[in-house]
Amino acid sequence: MIAKRFDVLLLDLDGVVYLGDEPLPDAVDSINRLYELDKEIRFLTNDPRPTRRTIASDLRELGINAQEDEIVTAGWATAKYLAQQGVTTAAVVGSEGLETELQSEGVEVTDSDPEAMVVGADEGTSYRDIRRATRHIDQGAVFVGTNPDGSFPTPDGPAPGAGAVVRAVEAAAGTEPTVVGKPEPLMFEMALNGLGDDVRAVVIGDTPATDVLGAHRAGHTGILVADEEPTAASARDLQVPDLTISTLADLFTEGIETWESPPYSWPDEIRPGVAAVVRNDADEVLLMKRADKRQWALPMGSVERCEPVREAISREVMEETGLHVEVEELAGVYSHPAQQVFSYSSGKTVHFVTNCFRCTIEEGTPEADEEEALEVGFFDVNDLPPDILSMQPQWIADAIDISGSPAVR
């Protein structure tokens, strides 16, 4: 059975165990059966309002014998995160429960010159709170959002979640927050803390964008509780669950493939890229040693807004090497995530779809632009430097052998 394949079950609460005050069908009996099977259970919620103690007591009222240390809320995780970062004072937009969790971790709640501005939300959140948060961030407080959820389910329909308020403050302050809750890996790490390195964990939730994506980013199997299979344009989308079940009772049936992490990170955005294979009269290829990656590479970059690809290529080659080039022919289009997902020191991860063109030199002598390149030079295609970006010998080969159609990889 599915449950037997895992040591730890990380259960989302809203939409999996209960909806509003009402338990969902089969949830209570199924969880008690998991306890009988000696499974470790952690209850994870992005709701930053209640304390862990309150949730444990609410679960016990439903007939689930949960303990406080089995509960991981976005509020508690935010408090732990701030304590780990050495933060001792924070202003708060959010509930008393959130303030209680912060104080329990030694973070004083104050509006007097706080080190951090913690934004959650509750029913009393107002325009004044958004203004207060904006001003603290403007004065230098670190902006921390408890969770990214724009809304959460209630029996009457969706209600605005903390993410809606976090994004309001972000718009007003012009600063991006650090967000703690799912799908960030931090909450899952905290949930598994102390259970050993090689436990087999599964995340069970009702929201692909937080529960399933978070599970996969943290390297765990993700099961979706939903009436229908979700649709996704790409099977590689990390929001695609490993299994969809209709209630927790389905955990005692057969059939799941466990998750294996792919060799790339989940990108924040997709960008069109350009690259140039430029050859000189001796048929050598132009390479630059990139200042950011300290590896040899073709001249390349992004297409900017409203910029035709042809102009983007000649601009990038000019900026990086000082050469004027004529853009000749499309040699290949490259988008495989294993090669085309890059993480930057800013914390952003970008998936490039790169159009690589064969180019000829119109005029100029190559010269390294200080900010972009450590060195620029021409290389024999049969004697490329060993520290070249791993996919680019293939791109160069595709550009030289352009007899057929462009390569699509």
Annotated catalytic residues are 12, 14
Minimum CB distance to Mg ion, residue 57 (Å): 20
Please state, in angstroms and rounded to a whole number, the distance separating the CA atoms of residues 67 and 177. 31
Return the range that interacts with Mg ion (CB under 5 A); candidates 5-13, 103-111, 154-162, 182-190: 5-13
In sequence order, what are the residues at sequence separation of 6 or more whose Cβ sits closer than 8 angstroms to the Cβ of residue 146? 46, 48, 74, 75, 78, 94, 98, 118, 119, 120, 162, 166, 179, 180, 181
Q: What does the angle CA 33 – CA 1 – CA 73 come to, to the nearest 5 degrees?
A: 55
Q: Which is nearer to Mg ion, 209 or 353 (CB)?
A: 209
DSSP summary character for residue 208: I
Q: Which is nearer to Mg ion, 47 or 122 (CB)?
A: 47
Task: Answer yes or no: are the C-beta atoms of 248 and 27 closer than 8 Å.
Answer: yes
Task: Answer yes or no: are the C-beta atoms of 76 and 51 closer than 8 Å.
Answer: yes
Return the range that interacts with Mg ion (CB under 5 A); candidates 14-22, 31-39, 114-122, 292-300: 14-22
Closest CA to 361 of 317, 400, 403: 317
Binding mask 199-228 for Mg ion (x = CB under 5 A): -------x----------------------
Among 7, 15, 369, 397, binds Mg ion (CB under 5 A): 15
Task: Answer yes or no: are the C-beta atoms of 101 and 52 closer than 8 Å.
Answer: yes
Minimum CB distance to Mg ion, residue 47 (Å): 9
- Furthest-apart CA pair in the chain: how many Å? 81
Instruction: Please report how the helices 96-104 and 74-84 are oriented relative to each other, as an axis angle in degrees rounded to 10.
Output: 40
Q: Which is nearer to Mg ion, 151 or 253 (CB)?
A: 151
Q: Which is nearer to Mg ion, 14 or 129 (CB)?
A: 14
HSE of 387, CA atoms in CB hemisphere, 13 A: 7
Minimum CB distance to Mg ion, residue 88 (Å): 32
Binding mask 354-383 for Mg ion (x = CB under 5 A): ------------------------------
Return the range that interacts with Mg ion (CB under 5 A); candidates 11-19, 25-33, 331-339, 361-369: 11-19
Question: Whose CB is nearest to Mg ion?
Answer: 15
Minimum CB distance to Mg ion, residue 206 (Å): 4
Q: Which is nearer to Mg ion, 12 or 122 (CB)?
A: 12
Among 8, 14, 114, 243, binds Mg ion (CB under 5 A): 14
Which 3 state secondary structure label does DSSP give 142?
strand
Among 2, 10, 12, 49, binds Mg ion (CB under 5 A): 12
Structure tokens at 326: 């004529």
HSE of 275, CA atoms in CB hemisphere, 13 A: 27
Minimum CB distance to Mg ion, residue 79 (Å): 21
Minimum CB distance to Mg ion, residue 15 (Å): 4
Q: Which is nearer to Mg ion, 247 or 295 (CB)?
A: 247
Quote the distance between the C-alpha of residue 321 and its chain's center: 34
Q: Is 150 in the site for Mg ion (CB under 5 A)?
A: no
Return the range that interacts with Mg ion (CB under 5 A); candidates 13-21, 136-144, 218-226, 253-261: 13-21
Please state, in angstroms and rounded to a whole number, the distance separating the CA atoms of residues 366 and 379. 13
Structure tokens at 144: 């921390």
Applying CB under 5 A, the site for Mg ion has a residue count of 4
- State the residues that interact with Mg ion by CB under 5 A: 12, 14-15, 206
